[in-house]
Chains A and B, each alone.
Chain A
Amino acid sequence: MSVLANVFERKGLATTLVALVHRHAEGQKPPRAVWVPYWYGRTFGAPNNAALQMRVLRAALNLLEKPSGPVLESFEEEPPATADPDSWSPSWDIDPVDETISNAELAERLKRDLATLAPLLEDATRAHGWTLFGLAGRSFQELGEIFASYLLHGPTDNIPKRERAFAIKHGSQDLTDAFSQTAAHRDGDAPFAIRRWYWTQSSFGLVMRRIGEALHNDPDAKTRIAADGLFVPREWKF
């Protein structure tokens, strides 16, 4: 972002940036930046907290009264508390999965959990007015079939090799988004808890961790890179 800010400023546009990583803003020296103590993806503080969002925005806009420095200020307001990941679990009918489950059982479990999730995501989508689900261009059922097949047989689908990494990545993202949106709608804003439960307790997370592990030695370089770095958050990779 800092490089963009510097280019825009050189082109005659005044810029102000909300920075999430202090050392990046320090090192890259955008013309004006306010650092906020929020997690990645929580740039303006918290969802449905208009007052906090406005305070962050004003802190950024107020920097425009200053010359292009570089200026780096800190916005010290802590984020609102969210659910404790150690005690959180979904309130709806979805059970944690045992990590020792066989691939065959996991494939069946994945399909069952997707069937449970599909109507719940519809509820959440109606409530929020939209959804991120759909990036892969496949239905829940299609995603279940593809990922179950990967678990059981490896990449025997009809997806061309050059598109495979994307297809898996986008499908994985759709499952993550569907679960996260549903969980936030039903159980409240709980970013850390939802994320940890998904990757350590859900069938969806375990499926992607196993597929990522299996594709670690795939002959296709793009697939290997994606499997190693883009399917599963680094802290939960096998």
Chain B
Amino acid sequence: MVSSAGIHRPEDKPFAWNDHDWRSFPREQRDFYLSHASTNFDRSGFMQDRNLYLPFDRLDELVDQGELGSLAPTAYSFMGGSGTPEQFLPHAETVAEAMKAEGVNTVVLAPV
């Protein structure tokens, strides 16, 4: 699961508005800060239900129903909407390698 919401664990370094790198967090993470620089998207829905950005409960249901094998232990967040594609490339490659090292074969990408 990869989000572009600029979410991270409270103890992580917040995203700066020209950051193109990433934060990772365990799938069980329940507390987040949201340091995405943009003021132009809704955050109130996420506070009511994390599944609006990170549908882990729905993915768990699909695993329980046997439609998915298993879920990766780690999820990733970037801060979308700033910079050029080239600026994200090296970080995307690093995250791809990290996911493969955890045995991931499929990625759901969710922007905000």
Contacts and interface: CB of A to CB of B under 8 A. Distances in A.
A41 B96 contact: no
A64 B110 contact: no
A156 interface: no
A189 to B, nearest CB: 6
Contact of B96 (A13, A17, A231, A232): A13
Given A43-B112, A177-B47, A189-B45, A11 B100 contact: yes
B71 interface: no
Interface in B19-45: 30-35, 37-45
B41 A40 contact: yes
A13 B85 CA distance: 19
Contacts of A233: 39-40
Q: How large is the interface on B (under 10, 10 to 19, 20 to 34, 35 or more residues)?
A: 35 or more
Contacts of B45: 41-42, 46-47, 184, 189, 191
B42 A50 contact: no
A110 interface: no
Interface string A164-185: 0010011001001100110111
A28 B100 CA distance: 24
Interface residues of A, number: 66
A126 to B, nearest CB: 13
Interface in B50-93: 51-53, 55, 57-59, 61-62, 68, 78, 80, 85, 88-89, 92-93
B56 to A, nearest CB: 10
Interface of B: 2, 4-5, 10, 14, 16-17, 30-35, 37-49, 51-53, 55, 57-59, 61-62, 68, 78, 80, 85, 88-89, 92-93, 95-97, 99-100, 104-112
Interface of A: 1-5, 7-8, 11-20, 28, 30, 39-48, 50, 53-54, 56-57, 60-61, 64, 128-132, 134-135, 166, 169-170, 173, 176-177, 180-181, 183-185, 189, 191, 194-195, 225-226, 230-234
